[in-house]
């Protein structure tokens, strides 16, 4: 809890949208030593996950915990922190933060970090304080505080600098988890997005949760960050939402994509994209599942071994045994290439289908009403089409 006796008034004010209305709040100066980072801040979600995978909890000492989280802020986006720090050193803090009376920062973690570093570097006593609006958490529900945080973090375009996986973690917490406070429509409104875009993000976030379960690392968000899963998962979402995949085939299609993501190296996003036509072909998907059935079982058992879980804690990633990895890549590549070849072989048929559609679009009643000159030109094109048809019939030995 902040010692109110250490808080100094300023002449500044700040507008905040809270409880669905804009209110003017006074800005005060608070000693940095009275504040603590918000451990639920979305921008460091995967770093918190990584820390807690090694430790049971954060230190009880607020200053010790602050030093740990400051490291996360530094690592998560060092360039943005550097810019903020340089700006504050040159022009002092221009924009007030928002903190709760218990000392937890709602908005302004990067400014807090910059000030802490400038203070430690002896840049001047003025950097020992942060300017902030001070809110009493008892006056607001947790949802109202979170709504305010979303408003502040998304109000300016340049502030939307989440790591893509940290962004998905926030989506999971705010919209999917059992105690999630928002509907998609509410969230879209608060972050100035569309409900359709938010629903799509929810699908990708759910795939992240499902993938981490698949590899035996539920809610270990740092592994998703380490494997740079945003691109592959977004590609997977586009593939799996297709109506070409029957409901009964969905889990098989998803598991094949997950096994591939876990096995592929290099440009994983492109390689997942290449599998689109394979998993959307029910017969080919069945063939892939049949060939990989034993391998997928082995992978599942491997993911759940204690030594694999222990290694994941140390390396923050999950590796597929070479034999299984090679088999998945081999089968996925074989069927991807087979599908590409099949599509290329059918390309002439698709072209003819399109040509027939265009001919069927010709208005025969309009043909009857054409002038003599237009009829002559029309007949010329018919003759040229007939010549091409006859030539192609000759190629296929058709009658």
Dist. CA 394–CA 399, nearest whole Å: 8
What pLDDT is attached to residue 156? 52
What pLDDT is attached to residue 158? 42
Token look-up 């222990």 returns 310
- DSSP class of residue 42? G
What pLDDT is attached to residue 174? 94
- DSSP class of residue 371? -
Dist. CA 386–CA 256, nearest whole Å: 47
Q: Give the chain's residues under pLDDT 70.
A: 155-161, 343-347, 397-399
Q: CA dist 257 to 303, 375, 387, Å?
A: 16, 56, 47
First to last CA, the chain: 91
pTM: 0.81
CB atoms within 10 A of CB 150: 21
Strands 129-135 and 97-100, bridge-based pairing: parallel
What pLDDT is attached to residue 391? 82
What pLDDT is attached to residue 160? 47
* DSSP element (H, E) containing 380: helix 372-396
What pLDDT is attached to residue 344? 62
What pLDDT is attached to residue 161? 61
Yes or no: say if 143 and 10 are a contact pair by the CB < 8 Å rule.
no
* DSSP element (H, E) containing 18: strand 8-18
Dist. CA 136–CA 151, nearest whole Å: 18
The DSSP line for 85-152 is: HHHHHHH---S-EEEETTSBEEE-HHHHHHHHHHHHTT--GGGGEEEEEEE-GGGS-HHHHHHHHHHH
What pLDDT is attached to residue 317? 87
- DSSP class of residue 80? H
What pLDDT is attached to residue 157? 41
- DSSP class of residue 247? G
The DSSP line for 158-217 is: GG----HHHHHHHHIIIIISTT----HHHHHHHTT--HHHHHHHHHHHHHHHHHHHHTT-
Instruction: Please state the domain extents for the chain.
Output: 4-146, 197-345, 360-396
Share of the chain above pLDDT 90, in %: 64
What pLDDT is attached to residue 188? 93
């Amino acid at each position: 809890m902040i010692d109110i006796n250490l808080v100094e008034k300023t002449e500044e004010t700040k507008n905040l949208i809270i409880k669905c209305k804009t209110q003017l709040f006074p800005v005060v100066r608070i000693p940095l030593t009275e504040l603590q980072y918000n451990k639920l801040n979305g921008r460091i979600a995967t770093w918190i996950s990584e820390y807690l995978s090694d430790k049971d909890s954060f230190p009880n000492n607020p200053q010790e915990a602050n030093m740990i989280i400051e490291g996360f802020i530094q690592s998560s986006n060092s360039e943005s922190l550097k810019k903020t720090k340089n700006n504050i050193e040159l022009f002092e803090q221009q924009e007030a933060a928002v903190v709760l009376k218990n000392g937890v920062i709602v908005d302004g973690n990067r400014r807090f970090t910059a000030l802490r570093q400038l203070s430690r570097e002896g840049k001047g006593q003025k950097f020992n304080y942060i300017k902030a609006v001070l809110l009493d958490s008892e006056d607001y529900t947790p949802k109202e505080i979170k709504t305010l945080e979303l408003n502040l973090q998304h109000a300016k375009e340049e502030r939307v600098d989440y790591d893509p996986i940290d962004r998905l973690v926030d989506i999971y917490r705010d919209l999917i988890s059992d105690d999630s406070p928002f509907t998609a429509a509410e969230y879209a409104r608060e972050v100035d997005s569309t409900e359709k875009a938010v629903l799509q993000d929810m699908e990708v976030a759910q795939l992240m949760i499902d993938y981490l379960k698949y590899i035996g690392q539920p809610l270990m968000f740092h592994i998703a960050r380490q494997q740079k899963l945003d691109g592959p998962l977004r590609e997977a979402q586009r593939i799996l939402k297709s109506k070409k995949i029957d409901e009964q085939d969905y889990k098989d299609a998803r598991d094949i994509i997950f096994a591939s993501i876990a096995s592929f190296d290099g440009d994983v996003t492109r390689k997942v994209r290449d599998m689109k036509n394979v998993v959307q072909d029910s017969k080919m998907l069945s063939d892939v599942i049949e060939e990989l059935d034993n391998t997928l079982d082995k992978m599942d058992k491997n993911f759940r071994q204690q030594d694999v879980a222990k290694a994941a804690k140390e390396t923050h990633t999950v590796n597929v045994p070479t034999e299984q990895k090679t088999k998945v890549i081999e089968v996925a590549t074989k069927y991807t290439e087979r599908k590409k070849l099949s599509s290329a072989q059918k390309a002439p048929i698709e072209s003819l289908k399109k040509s027939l559609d265009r001919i069927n679009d010709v208005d025969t009643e309009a043909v009857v009403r054409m002038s003599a000159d237009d009829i002559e030109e029309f007949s010329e094109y018919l003759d040229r089409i007939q010549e091409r048809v006859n030539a192609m019939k000759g190629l296929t030995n058709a009658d």
